């Protein structure tokens, strides 16, 4: 069997961690080649020193087969993990066309409900699976990723996708000590994750506070926000357990008390944010369904109009 070719687009908190774990496992085995697509200072650091990833008490250095900002240097691959932020989705996906052969599978690990559908619209006929991950990690500086959560989980799959390819990828990931799963109910899995990240990203960004602070000071509003999202999800046909609101909020307590969300961090740094994906999507979908989401609308309006940094 020929070696697999796996590309990871976006070598940040998510792509960097998973890429490093796979390279660590397979660097001396004739199983797969790994390609990193990055840019700027992060790319230069990886090209010069490799990617460093700190997991708990150890720091590993991962050297990919090639790190580049030009996918044409890689050519068609077997799997592409898309780990860039969703606000540049169209630009990033179209940039990846040189990686795509007719059998290349795209696995997005981006935040958002309809990411797979958006990619399928951009690339009709291309195999695109669903994916999501639970992980607490950050790109601390160029070429250095740190995982700070004790647990992580990666879900991927497609009801209509090639079953053998799904089994192959699952084996590759789990043998690299990645907690990967290939469930049948990916749509529900993605909504469950969205229940965790959308309210948390919205409320931390709106109040300009970390997770511990919003839970301590704005718990009731956190519950209200999450309940509004639950109503939208159920109107879309998603069946949640009755305790999903409180369970999702309680899960945030597993993070360090001073940790915040990726969207809040991007606001603080003056970067583009996933406001439209994580907050605006809920407002627009609720309007389409005729559902009231006053808390989401209030915070969305505030975040769209009030600039950072705040005094």
Instruction: Give the end-to-end CA distance of the chain in Å, rounded to a whole number.
Output: 60
pLDDT reported for residue 88: 80
Q: Is residue 21 assigned to a domain?
A: yes
Rounded Cα–Cα distance for residues 235 and 191 (Å) = 12
In a shared domain, residues 23 and 170: yes
Kindly state whether residues 32 and 111 are assigned to the same domain.
yes
Is residue 81 within 8 A of residue 109, CB to CB? The reply is: yes
The verdict on 82 and 163 lying in the same domain is: yes
* Residue carrying structure tokens 């809920």: 282
State whether 112 and 159 are in the same domain. yes
Give the CATH number of the domain where residue 249 resides: 1.10.1040.10
Q: Are residue 175 and residue 196 in the same domain, yes or no?
A: no
Same domain? For 205 and 280 the reply is yes
Q: What is the pLDDT of residue 251?
A: 86
Q: Can you name the residues that pair with 80 across neighbouring β-strands?
A: 7, 106
Closest among 197, 96, 81 to 131, alpha carbons compared: 81
Cα gap 206→214, rounded to integer Å: 10
Same domain, 154 and 259: no
Number of alpha carbons in the 13 Å side-chain half-sphere of residue 271: 14
Strand 4-9 with 32-37, pairing: parallel
- The pLDDT score that the predictor gives to residue 310 is 64
Last residue of a domain, one of 184, 214, 248: 184
Q: Are residues 222 and 152 in the same domain?
A: no
Mean pLDDT by 10 residues, the chain (311 residues): 91 95 90 96 97 90 97 98 89 94 96 94 96 91 89 92 94 96 94 95 96 95 97 94 91 82 91 94 97 97 82 50
Same domain? For 79 and 15 the reply is: yes
Domain boundary among 152, 184, 216: 184
Here the CATH number for the domain that contains residue 33 is: 3.40.50.720
Does residue 17 fall inside a structural domain?
yes
Considering its fold, how many domains does the chain have in total?
2
Same domain, 136 and 254: no
Residues 82 and 173 in one domain: yes
Residue 310 lies in a domain: no
**Contact 19/51 with Cβ under 8 angstroms?**
yes
Calpha distance 306→105 (Å, rounded): 40
At 30 the pLDDT is: 87
Residues 120, 206: one domain?
Answer: no
Are 110 and 82 contacting, i.e. CB atoms less than 8 angstroms apart? yes
Phi, psi of 168 (to 5 degrees): -60, -45
Domain span including residue 192: 188-305
Domain membership of residue 274 (yes or no) is yes
The crossing angle, in degrees rounded to 10, of helices 244-252 and 219-235 is 130
Predicted TM-score (pTM) of the model is: 0.91
Q: Which of 125, 159, 184 is the last residue of a domain?
A: 184
Position 307 scores a pLDDT of 72
């Amino acid at each position: 069997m020929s070696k697999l070719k796996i590309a990871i687009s976006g070598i940040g908190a998510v792509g960097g961690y998973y890429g490093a774990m796979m390279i660590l496992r397979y660097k001396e085995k004739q199983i797969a080649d790994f390609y990193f697509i990055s840019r700027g200072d992060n790319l230069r650091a990886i090209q010069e020193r490799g990617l460093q990833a700190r997991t708990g008490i150890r720091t590993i250095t991962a050297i990919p087969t090639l790190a580049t900002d030009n996918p044409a240097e890689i050519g068609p691959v077997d799997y592409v993990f898309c780990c860039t932020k969703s606000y540049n989705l169209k630009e990033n996906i179209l940039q990846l066309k040189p990686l795509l052969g007719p059998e290349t599978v795209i696995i997005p690990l981006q935040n958002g409900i309809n990411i797979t559908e958006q990619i399928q619209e951009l690339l009709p006929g291309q195999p695109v699976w669903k994916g999501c991950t639970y992980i607490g990690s950050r790109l601390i500086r160029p070429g250095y990723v740190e995982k700070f959560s004790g647990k992580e989980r990666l879900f991927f799959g497609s009801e209509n996708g090639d079953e053998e390819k799904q089994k192959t990828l699952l084996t590759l990931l789990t043998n690299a000590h990645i907690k990967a799963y290939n469930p049948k109910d990916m749509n529900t899995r993605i909504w469950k994750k969205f229940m965790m990240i959308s309210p948390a990203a919205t409320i931390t960004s709106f109040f300009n506070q970390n997770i511990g602070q919003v839970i301590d000071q704005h718990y009731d509003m956190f519950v209200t926000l999450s309940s509004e999202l639950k109503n939208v999800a159920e109107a879309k046909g998603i069946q949640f357990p009755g305790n999903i609101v409180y369970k999702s909020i309680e899960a945030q307590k597993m993070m360090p008390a001073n940790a915040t969300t990726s969207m809040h961090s991007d606001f603080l740094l003056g970067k583009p944010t996933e406001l439209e994906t994580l907050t605006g999507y809920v407002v627009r979908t609720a309007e389409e369904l005729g559902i009231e989401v006053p808390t989401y609308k209030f915070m969305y309006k505030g975040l769209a109009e009030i600039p950072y940094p705040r005094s």
